[in-house]
Amino acid sequence: MKRSLLIAGCLILSALLFTNCTDKDHDPDKEEWISLFDGNSMAEWTPKFAGHELGVNYKNRFVLKDSLLSVRYMEQDTFKGNFGHLYYKNKFSHYRLRAMYRFVGDQQAGGPGWAFRNNGLMLHCQDPKSLGLEQDFPISLEMQLLGGDGTNDRNNANLCTPGTNVVMNDSLFTPHCVNSTSKTYHGDHWVEVEALVLGDSLLQHIIDGQVVMEYKKPTMGGGEISGYQETAYQVGQAISDGYISIQAETHPIDFKSIELLNLCGCTDPDAKNYKSYYVRSDNSSCIY
């Protein structure tokens, strides 16, 4: 009996010590970034290529190797209009997204000139399950990832709007693409970009700590997509959340990291998982 009481006491003491340690170690100001790929698997990502069913990684163009998430094309590949996208499994509304990428090698044969050293982080994407079989681009907001040709100027982190319009400088902006204020990034070196996404109230593209593009109030409209399902394209509908995807647009690219800081969560300071940087409350997630 004494031994049982002793063991029970030790267990209770251990639990109390663990709880106190956990509470003490919780820092509400510490940013908790999550990696969207772990270097070992693409299980949390789903590919979709124009002309192919959701989930088909056409010709294995999305590749995970040497801890890099990459887009690759075989030498005999010739572009036939089959743009591709790779979608992360979860939907987000308020977050920071940052990625480290580099362009490598030569563009796929037959690829359009504008797609040279061109990829994108597609923000607020429509549900990939709602894509048409032949759809070329998702309804989304694209933060373009662009590399220079070694000679000419080419802004990076531009905005393109497949199936969307935005408000810029307090006016409705309907052209498909607009240049940022960034410098040109030539060569094959790593570049880090970041997006700040606050629902539909503010979206920013950031390079080297500088905001190079800013807009708000995205809505469906504007065209610049084909092959979509009519039920998915509701012109004028506000867009305040969505999925994240990367592109396969005919030029090889490597991603060293894609990380996300969720800005939506428990905003009750008395909760164990409260974070001071959350800007949108989801107090159903609070842990006490």
DSSP characters over 213-224: EEEEEEEE-S--
Residues, the chain: 288
Beta bridge partners of 174: none
Q: Let me know the angle formed at the C-alpha of 195 by 97 and 145, rounded to the nearest 5 degrees.
A: 100
Going by pLDDT thresholds of 50, 70 and 90, the confidence category of residue 24 is low
Averaged pLDDT for residues 42-54: 97
pLDDT digits (tens, 9 = 90+) for 143-176: 999 999 999 999 999 999 999 999 999 999 999 9
pLDDT digits (tens, 9 = 90+) for 83-139: 999 999 999 999 999 999 999 999 999 999 999 999 999 999 999 999 999 999 999
Percent of the chain with pLDDT over 90: 88
Q: What spatial distance separates the first Cα and last Cα of the chain, rounded to whole Å?
A: 34
Domains belonging to the chain, first-starting first, are 35-264 (2.60.120.560)
Going by C-alpha positions, the residue among 12, 16, 5, 32 that lies closest to residue 274 is: 32
DSSP class per residue in 226-281: -S--GGG--TT-B---BEEEEEE-SS-EEEEEEEEEE-EE---TTSTT--TT--EE
Mean pLDDT over each residue of the chain, to the nearest integer: 92
Structure-token pair, residue 282 = 């989801």
Going by pLDDT thresholds of 50, 70 and 90, the confidence category of residue 7 is very low
- Give 129's Cβ-side CA count (13 Å radius): 3
The backbone region for 200, taken as left when phi is positive above 0, alpha when psi lies in -120 to 50, beta otherwise, is alpha
Going by pLDDT thresholds of 50, 70 and 90, the confidence category of residue 23 is low
Is the Cβ–Cβ distance between 138 and 122 less than 8 Å? Answer: yes
Check residue 17 and give its pLDDT.
45
pLDDT digits (tens, 9 = 90+) for 233-280: 999 999 999 999 999 999 999 999 999 999 999 999 999 999 999 999
> Which residues touch 286 (CB under 8 Å, ≥6 apart)?
266, 268, 271, 273, 274
Per-residue b or e along 150-180, where b marks 16 or more CB atoms closer than 10 Å to that residue's CB: eeeebbbbbbbbbbbbbebeeeebeeeeebb
Structure-token pair, residue 169 = 């400088």
**H-helix or E-strand spanning residue 178:** strand 177-178
Q: 253-262 and 177-178 as β-strands: parallel, antiparallel, unpaired?
A: unpaired
Check residue 44 and give its pLDDT.
96
